């Protein structure tokens, strides 16, 4: 082996760099302190919040906790902090999370506001000095493609569904501590290279992370004040972004005979009348004027006090606009918490047509939380304790889907276009299917099986219904038939839907169960074996293997 000597300055430089890096990542808390915090979190959840084990089993969660505990001795503070966040996020409820603010370990942010439009993730806002990056599409963070970066950071966010992540989690991609802990970037650094695309040009842009408060947002969009700049043209402002200093406002268009209301919180606005008085005024106006359409816009509404929903619900039930085609509610990725209760109640008691994107919360959910302070790191775990159920458990879904799905591109946002409001203003044609499963059920009951199949295939691929969870709905419908001894009907539903969703282990399992119930044991075994291969480590595969042993 040949040895080479290095110049003294090179060696000293290397040692200086190594010492600097070591000091940079030197832990403020000991291994024992962090492990004690993790133990405290684990014990507290098992003792006081065992009901949170609804989407994840206690066994799986404890296994992940044990894995993190064993890794703590070899982790930096920021990695442990993010690891704790992952543990709490596993429960899958937006109100149950670890707050990264207020603990002994600080974090930083890149001075940008990211927003995920239908055509990608864009820099919606930043601060002066970064004009070149403003409005650019994000292609990579470091060497990680943006789609992979989202996948890697998702487990750190207490997301009930992907809509919650779009609204409340996407900007975790601007936190270097999270980027490194989730291995989106290989080394912990405040200098983060982004690969961007703007005006047809692809380029690398280096951001330096700093004060986490350098960027201020309002309803997930940049606040255009001080040094902050927005990619949206300031030549005009769409209705849903007007007067955002007010929690609620309304507009009447006499030409279209439309009343438009934006309500962005379920709270009384201290600068104007209460919500009860506001809606009393609205419904009085509707009763006394030519109003043929009422649009309620809650796409920005992240919740508040759901006891304040009653005046709106009772007023609508009695109003002349409570008819199909007259009342539209715009929902979206920020529709959450007490506002989820609101849209649930609108769905239960009115003739509402939902337009836009799905909501950020499950229909039934764990809400109100209590603070649990971890004794050593002082991080706050917010743990939900109140179960809110507006729907029967068999009607629960990951979100409230829109009847008419409408998304927004970056260019539309930039140019102040509002395709969602435009859809709510458009006339509903007789051929528009607002309730896909209701439509298919009618055809099924009439015995029009060929039409059931053709309509199901059409609607599954219709962008208007892109957020309808047909896979789950077909699974539920098939098992409802099977449990009612309507075996041939169940066979039809599972056979049809497994052809539409060829990768769905739950639909193939349903087909196997229906075949077994019909007496086709050999064919059922073949399908069970297929499910076992499709889902080797998941619950459907486990059920299939149990069935094969019977």
| pLDDT tens column, 234-249 | 999 999 999 999 999 9
Report the CATH number that the domain containing residue 343 is assigned in CATH.
3.90.226.10
Shared domain for 133 and 250, answered yes or no, is no
pTM metric for this prediction? 0.91
Report the CATH number that the domain containing residue 509 is assigned in CATH.
1.25.40.10
Shared domain for 281 and 402, answered yes or no, is yes
What DSSP state is assigned to residue 465?
A: G
Lowest mean pLDDT among 224-228, 328-332, 416-420, 452-456: 224-228
Q: Is residue 35 part of a domain?
A: yes
Shared domain for 34 and 100, answered yes or no, is yes
Cβ–Cβ under 8 Å, residues 407 and 118 = yes
pLDDT at 25: 54
Shared domain for 142 and 40, answered yes or no, is no
Shared domain for 41 and 118, answered yes or no, is no
Cβ–Cβ under 8 Å, residues 384 and 52 = yes
Q: Is residue 459 part of a domain?
A: no
* Other C-beta atoms lying within 10 Å of the C-beta of residue 299: 23
Cβ–Cβ under 8 Å, residues 146 and 138 = yes
Report the CATH number that the domain containing residue 47 is assigned in CATH.
3.30.750.44
pLDDT at 402: 98
Q: Is residue 449 part of a domain?
A: no
Shared domain for 32 and 176, answered yes or no, is no
CA distances from 170 to 75, 338, 398 (A): 25, 22, 19
The mean of the pLDDT values for the chain is 94
Shared domain for 416 and 285, answered yes or no, is yes
Q: Is residue 458 part of a domain?
A: no
Interval 469-474 mean pLDDT: 95
Q: Is residue 431 part of a domain?
A: no
pLDDT category of residue 24 using cuts at 50, 70 and 90: very low
Matching residue, tokens 């796409």: 299
Cβ–Cβ under 8 Å, residues 49 and 41 = no
Tokens of 4: 């080479």
Determine the Cα–Cα distance for residues 120 and 170; give it in Å rounded to an integer. Answer: 12
Shared domain for 495 and 518, answered yes or no, is yes
Q: Is the pLDDT score of 14 beyond 50?
A: no
Give which of 168, 124, 172 is closest to 332, Cα–Cα: 168
pLDDT at 372: 98
Q: Within 13 Å, how many C-alpha atoms sit on residue 72's CB side?
A: 22
Shared domain for 195 and 279, answered yes or no, is no
Cβ–Cβ under 8 Å, residues 353 and 13 = no
Interval 153-175 mean pLDDT: 97
Q: Is the pLDDT score of 421 beyond 60?
A: yes
Q: Is residue 38 part of a domain?
A: yes
Cβ–Cβ under 8 Å, residues 193 and 205 = yes
pLDDT at 17: 34
Tokens of 273: 């009348």
Which H helix or E strand runs over 387?
A: strand 387-388
Shared domain for 206 and 289, answered yes or no, is no
Tokens of 353: 């047509």
Shared domain for 92 and 121, answered yes or no, is no
Q: What percent of the chain has pLDDT over 70?
A: 95
- Tally of structural domains, the chain: 4
CA 89 to chain centre: 13
HEC profile of 67-104:
HHHHHHHHCCHHHHHHHHHHHHHCCCCCCCEEECCCCC
Q: What percent of the chain has pLDDT over 90?
A: 92
Angle of helix 539-549 versus helix 521-534 axis, rounded to 10: 150
Last residue of a domain, one of 211, 230, 249: 230
Q: pLDDT for 331-384, tens place per residue?
A: 999 999 999 999 999 999 999 999 999 999 999 999 999 999 999 999 999 999
Tokens of 263: 């309500």
- Domain containing 187 equals 112-230
Give which of 362, 368, 361 is closest to 385, Cα–Cα: 368
Last residue of a domain, one of 201, 230, 259: 230
Q: pLDDT for 114-142, tens place per residue?
A: 999 999 999 999 999 999 999 999 999 99
Determine the Cα–Cα distance for residues 169 and 98; give it in Å rounded to an integer. Answer: 13
Cβ–Cβ under 8 Å, residues 416 and 233 = yes
Shared domain for 192 and 56, answered yes or no, is no
Q: Is residue 412 part of a domain?
A: yes
CA distances from 290 to 253, 294, 316, 319, 471 (A): 10, 11, 16, 13, 42
Q: Is the pLDDT score of 11 beyond 90?
A: no
Q: Is residue 376 part of a domain?
A: yes
Backbone angles phi, psi at 518, to 5 degrees: -85, -5
Instruction: Please tell me which residue, 468 or 18, carries the higher pLDDT value.
Output: 468
């Amino acid at each position: 082996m040949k040895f080479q000597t290095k110049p003294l300055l090179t060696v000293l430089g290397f040692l200086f760099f190594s010492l600097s890096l070591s000091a940079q990542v030197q832990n403020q808390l000991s291994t024992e302190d962090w492990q004690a915090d993790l133990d405290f979190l684990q014990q507290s959840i098992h003792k006081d919040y065992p009901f949170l084990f609804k989407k994840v089993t206690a066994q799986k969660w404890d296994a992940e906790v044990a894995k993190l505990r064993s890794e703590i001795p070899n982790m930096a503070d920021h990695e442990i902090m993010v690891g704790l966040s992952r543990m709490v996020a596993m429960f899958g409820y937006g109100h149950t999370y670890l707050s990264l603010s207020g603990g002994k370990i600080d974090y930083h942010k890149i001075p940008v506001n990211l927003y995920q439009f239908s055509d990608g993730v864009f820099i919606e806002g930043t601060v002066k000095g970064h004009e070149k990056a403003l409005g650019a599409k994000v292609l990579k963070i470091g060497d990680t493609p943006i789609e992979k970066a989202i996948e890697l950071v998702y487990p750190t966010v207490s997301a009930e569904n992907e809509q919650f992540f779009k609204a409340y989690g996407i900007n975790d991609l601007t936190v270097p501590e999270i980027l490194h802990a989730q291995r989106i970037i290989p080394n912990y650094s405040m200098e983060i290279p982004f690969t961007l695309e703007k005006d047809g040009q692809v380029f690398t842009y280096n951001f330096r992370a700093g004060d986490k408060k350098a960027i201020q947002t309002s309803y997930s969009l940049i606040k255009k004040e001080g040094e902050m700049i927005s990619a949206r043209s300031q030549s005009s402002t769409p209705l849903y972004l007007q007067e955002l200093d007010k929690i609620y406002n309304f507009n009447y268009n006499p030409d279209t005979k439309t009343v438009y209301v934006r309500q962005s919180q379920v709270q009384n606005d201290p600068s104007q009348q209460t919500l009860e008085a506001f809606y009393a005024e609205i419904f009085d106006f509707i009763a006394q004027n030519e109003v043929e359409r009422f649009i309620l816009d809650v796409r920005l509404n992240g919740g508040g006090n759901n006891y304040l929903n009653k005046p709106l619900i009772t007023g609508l039930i009695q109003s002349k606009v409570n008819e199909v085609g007259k009342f539209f509610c715009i929902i979206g990725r920020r529709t959450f918490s007490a506002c989820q209760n609101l849209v649930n109640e609108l769905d239960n008691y009115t003739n509402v047509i939902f337009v836009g994107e799905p909501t950020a919360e499950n229909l039934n959910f764990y809400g109100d939380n209590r603070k649990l302070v971890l004794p050593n790191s002082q991080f706050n775990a917010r743990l939900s304790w109140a179960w809110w159920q507006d729907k029967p458990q068999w009607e629960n879904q990951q979100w409230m889907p829109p009847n008419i799905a409408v998304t927004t591109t970056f260019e539309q946002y930039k140019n102040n276009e509002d395709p969602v409001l435009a859809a709510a203003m458009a006339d509903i044609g007789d051929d528009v299917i607002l309730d896909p499963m209701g439509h298919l059920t009618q055809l099924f009951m009439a015995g029009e099986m060929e039409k059931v199949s053709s309509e199901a295939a059409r609607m599954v691929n219709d962008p208007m219904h892109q957020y309808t969870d047909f896979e789950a709905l077909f699974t539920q419908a098939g098992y409802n038939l099977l449990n009612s001894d309507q075996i041939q009907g169940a066979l039809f539903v599972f056979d049809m839907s497994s052809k539409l969703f060829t990768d769905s282990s739950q639909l193939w399992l349903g087909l196997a169960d229906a075949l077994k119930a019909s007496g086709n044991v050999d064919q059922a075994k073949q399908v069970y074996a297929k499910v076992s291969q499709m889902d080797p480590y998941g619950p459907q595969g486990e059920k299939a293997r149990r069935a094969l042993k019977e």
